[in-house]
Every structure is written in structure tokens, then in C-alpha cells.
Homo-oligomer: A and B are copies of this chain.
Amino acid sequence: MYRQIGNIVFEKQPSIISYASVAGGKESEGPLKNSFDYIFSDSYAGQNTFEQAESVFTGRAVEIAMDKADMRPIDIDTAFCGDLLNQCIASSFAMRRYGVRYAGIYGACSTMGLGLIMAAISVESGASGRALSAASSHYCTAERQYRFPLEYGSQRPPTAQWTVTAAGACIVADDPKDISAPYISAARLGRIIDFGIKDQNNMGAAMAPAAADTIYGFFRDSGTGPSDYDRIFTGDLGRIGSRLLRDLLAERGIDIDDRHSDCGVMIFDESQDVHAGGSGCGCCASVLCGKILGDMAREEYHNILFVPTGALLSPTTVMQKQTIPSVAHLVNIRI
């Protein structure tokens, strides 16, 4: 691989040889209901706590991805996993049963993008033959950790997003049996951007500038523009953040309006009462590993940008009246 200023260009086409998505009950009632590999209609997934349930979601996505590729854990060299929970416990408790070499990552809702990039670098460099990237989120773990106990039933402002209960997993390899597998062509790790937003109920506004920075930089450094890609999928900006992103890019002369979709907007229908859309690491992870890669396999798209965004705040920084730093990572996937 080589650097194209701030971009990374892969030369050996690290391929996504398998992928799987797992979602919860509410997600299974949305527009993408047919794209998930497995639905847990029980939020507890048979566990005693929501945190253990989230680990089960991650584990199930990982196991289905391995099954599809006819692999066992021993076939995976490195796992890059992360989630929103304090100390990323959904991932570490999910992965402890497999004995796979483990690299914990944290990018808030951008985690799936960070994991895919790390997996692709690891595979193309020879550090891994097969690398796994997985991410998850759960409405009931995130809500009580970031905001209020669920039992409060606190009212949500229209700018708020709904944490998606879902997980996604991809296996990246340098030895694709199937030459028609989607592959990672280029990537760009994001810089931390802080536009001074303090409202934790308006994450879309906090994250949009990071998405704009990464997308603009990728186009500039690669000498490409929106028309070179079939579709640009952002992570979970939601309705408000998506509008802001388009405006911010328009100010720089870049028009993505006719080819931009946001995973946070795609996953729920407006009738599902989620206000500005879905969010959480599991949102773009499950949309990528279900709908998007599925559509690529059906050749609906041949060349896409996947740009998940993350807000790098914590409840402590909110209480301490800090602003919300954000990041967006970009992955160019082709088939």
C-alpha cells in the first residue's frame, strides 16, 4: 500500500470475504428488515443483562460471518472490535470465548470504519492473513449509560437519535476464494474535529464537520469527486447531520446530494418515532454488513464510500460542559 497525501491506497485488494449483521426487534420492523442475517426480538437475547446481550449480538454476527466463510476462530489472525460501552466491554466479553488475537479499538459510532481500515492494513501488510472487524451497540445499554435510566421515560428532543440495537462483522482476507468479493481499495483515517457543539442531543451537528473534513480531504488527495462513486454512505449523521454535511460540502463546491445516503436515516422509517434517525456503532456496522454489501453483491453498486462518524464525548465531558470532538473514517469499497 502507499500514501496518497492523507489517503491510504491498497494495492493487493484486501477483500471482504464474509460479513454478517444481527439486529434487534425495532430494527427488524424498519425498511432494512430483510437485510439482516439474524434477528433477536428479545432485547436481552436470553441473557440476564443488556450488556451481556450486546456481547451476544456481537458474537452472533462474528459466528455467522465465520460460518458463511466456512471458518473457525482459529482461522482468524486478528480481531479489531469496539463498541460504545465503558471500557468497550461488549466487544471484549464477546471475543473472550474465541481465543483470537485481539486489538481493541474505539471510534464511537465510527468504529466499524476504523476496524475495517485496521483489518485491511493488517492483511495487506502481512501482519494478518485474515482479520475480523466487528462493532455493536444496544439501545438499552447506551441509553442508561449516556443519558437516563430507561424507566424514566425521559422526553427526547427532535434532534435526538435512537441508538440502534445491532452488530456487524466483516472478515477481511488476502486470499479471496471468490474473486467477486468486495475489496477495500482506499481509505482515510479522520482527524478529530471539534466545532464547539455542546448539545449531546444533537450528535449529527457535532459529527457533520468531521464527515465533511474527511470526505473533502479524500476527494482532494485522490483527485476524485462525488461522480466517481456510485454512492456515499455516511455512518449515522441522521437527518439533521446529513443536511449539515451536504451544506458544508456545498460551501466547498462539492455536491453529494444525488448520491448520499446515511445509515442512521436508512435503518428506521420516520413512522418509527426515532426523531432524527438511528445511531450507535451497530447502526452503520449492521447496515454495511447487511444492506450495503448485499447490494454490492447484487451489483447495484460497484464503487462506494463508507464514511462512519463518531462523537468522542463521554457523559463526564458533557457534565463538565466540554464541547464534542468528532471523527469520521472513510473506506472506499469496490467490487
Contacts and interface: CB of A to CB of B under 8 A. Distances in A.
A93 B325 contact: yes
A88 B96 CA distance: 21
A87 B89 contact: no
B129 A125 contact: no
Interface of A: 1-3, 6, 8, 48-49, 51-52, 77-78, 82, 84-89, 92-93, 95-96, 99-108, 114, 117-118, 121-122, 124-129, 145, 188-194, 312-317, 320, 322, 325, 327
Among the interface residues A102, A121, A126, which one has the most CB atoms of the partner chain B within 10 A? A102
Most buried by B among A2, A6, A188, A320: A320
Contacts of A87: 84, 86, 106, 108, 312-314
Contact of A92 (B78, B103, B192): B192
A191 B118 contact: no
18 contacts: A1-B126, A8-B127, A49-B320, A78-B189, A82-B104, A86-B315, A89-B312, A92-B192, A92-B327, A96-B193, A101-B190, A102-B192, A102-B327, A103-B114, A103-B118, A104-B106, A121-B125, A121-B127
B105 A325 contact: no
A103 B189 contact: yes
A112 B320 CA distance: 27
Contacts of A124: 125
A95 B51 contact: no
Given A105-B105, A192-B102, A322 B86 contact: no
A85 to B, nearest CB: 7
Name the prevailing secondary structure of the A interface residues. mixed
B89 A314 contact: yes
A3 B101 contact: no
Among A85, A145, A314, residue most surrounded by chain B Cβ atoms (within 10 Å): A314
Contact of A1 (B8, B114, B127, B145): B127
A105 B103 contact: yes
Contact of A125 (B1, B89, B96, B114): B1
A126 B102 CA distance: 22
B315 A126 contact: no
Q: Which of A92, A96, A106, A128 has the most CB of B within 10 A?
A: A92
A320 B128 contact: no
A92 B312 contact: yes
Nearest to A146: B87
A322 B49 CA distance: 11
Contacts of A127: 1, 3, 8, 121, 125
Given A92-B327, A95-B192, A118-B118, 19 more contacts: A1-B126, A2-B126, A3-B127, A52-B322, A86-B315, A87-B314, A93-B312, A93-B322, A96-B192, A99-B191, A101-B189, A101-B191, A103-B118, A104-B106, A104-B107, A104-B312, A121-B125, A125-B125, A125-B127
Contacts of A48: 320
B93 A316 contact: no
Nearest to A51: B316
Contacts of A192: 92, 95-96, 99, 102
A315 to B, nearest CB: 7
